[in-house]
């Protein structure tokens, strides 16, 4: 039974979401504030949490700061953020803070549950990924596909599941151009028309960790008008 931390200050919304998630088989812990959520994650039960659902508009410490602090504690805990509106700045800021996905409130139960399932799947390496045993070494970057680790100049690079899957997808076919729609489908499991901001934000975070000069990427390159590729060096 997956253990989900739901961080939402509105009691009626929180109770409704908790009920829906429990009906779908999730074990749910709840928090009304960011401070309460972080205390729970630091407590004895924090290690059981497999995913956080995080509202951006919280009293006191807002969701952006909570997300950054979650990322400082764990590079691998999936975070699905809730936003009251699809405002570009809110969404981009949330994704850049480290969220893996987002949904706009009011959200229907099937959509929320589908996003959670997809995020949890991304956190579990697929059988195909585990079967890929070759390492790729380029300009100090080593991608160990069997061990699912990444190092740069010998230093481990901590990547959340979504960013790791994105890197594995792109680097499996150097030089091949992937459209944003293809990446949304293969990395985020979004089989419907998704939001390309998810891809762009994840690429930006990946570049900040892998590239010597993020503004002049050698690994994750943009092909203007088409998408991204793992650059042949």
DSSP tag of 79: E
Q: Kindly state the average pLDDT of the residues 212-233.
A: 89
What DSSP element (H or E) covers 171?
Answer: helix 161-171
User: For residues 70 and 50, what is the distance between their CA atoms, to the nearest angstrom?
Assistant: 12
Q: What domains, with CATH codes, occur in the chain?
A: 3-123 (3.40.50.2300), 127-230 (1.10.10.10)
Q: What is the pLDDT of residues 7-47, one digit of tens each?
A: 999 999 999 999 999 999 999 999 999 999 999 999 988 88
**What is the rounded CA–CA span in Å between residue 167 and residue 231?**
12
**Which position has the token pair 């401070």?**
35
Res 131: pLDDT: 43
Q: CB–CB of 207/198 below 8 Å?
A: no
Task: Name the pTM for this structure.
Answer: 0.73
Q: What span, in angstroms and rounded, lies between the C-alpha atoms of 19 and 181?
A: 33
Gap between the Cα atoms of 68 and 74, Å rounded: 10
Between CA 119 and CA 203 the distance in angstroms is 17
Please say whether the dihedral angle defined by the alpha carbons of residues 170, 173, 174 and 175, taken in this order, is positive or negative: negative
Best CA proximity match to 157, nearest among 105, 219, 65: 219
Segment 120-136, tens digit of pLDDT: 887 775 444 444 434 55
Q: Which pLDDT score, from 0 to 100, does residue 203 have?
A: 95
Task: With beta carbons less than 8 A apart as the criterion, state whether 182 and 76 touch.
Answer: no
Q: 181 by DSSP, 3-state: which?
A: helix
Report yes or no: 231 and 175 within 8 Å, Cβ to Cβ: yes
């Amino acid at each position: 039974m997956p253990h989900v931390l739901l961080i939402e200050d509105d009691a009626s919304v929180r109770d409704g979401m908790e009920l829906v998630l429990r009906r779908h088989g999730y074990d749910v812990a709840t928090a009304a504030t960011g401070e309460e959520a972080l205390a729970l994650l630091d407590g004895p039960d924090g290690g059981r949490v497999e995913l956080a659902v995080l509202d951006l508009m919280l009293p006191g410490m807002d969701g952006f700061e909570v997300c950054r602090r979650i990322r400082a504690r764990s590079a691998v805990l999936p975070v699905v953020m809730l936003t009251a509106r699809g405002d570009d700045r809110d969404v981009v800021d949330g994704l850049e803070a480290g969220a893996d996905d987002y949904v706009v409130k009011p959200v229907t139960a099937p959509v929320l549950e589908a996003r959670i399932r997809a995020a949890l799947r991304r956190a579990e390496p697929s059988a195909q990924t585990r079967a890929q045993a070759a390492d790729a070494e380029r300009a100090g970057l080593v991608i160990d596909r069997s061990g699912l680790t990444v190092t740069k100049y010998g230093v481990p690079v901590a990547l959340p599941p979504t960013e790791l899957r994105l890197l594995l997808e792109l680097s499996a076919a150097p030089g091949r151009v992937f459209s944003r729609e293809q990446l949304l489908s293969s990395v985020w499991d979004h089989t419907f028309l998704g939001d390309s901001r998810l891809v762009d934000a994840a690429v930006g975070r990946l570049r900040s960790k892998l590239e010597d000069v993020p503004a002049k990427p050698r690994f994750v390159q943009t092909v203007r008008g088409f998408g991204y590729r793992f650059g042949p060096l």
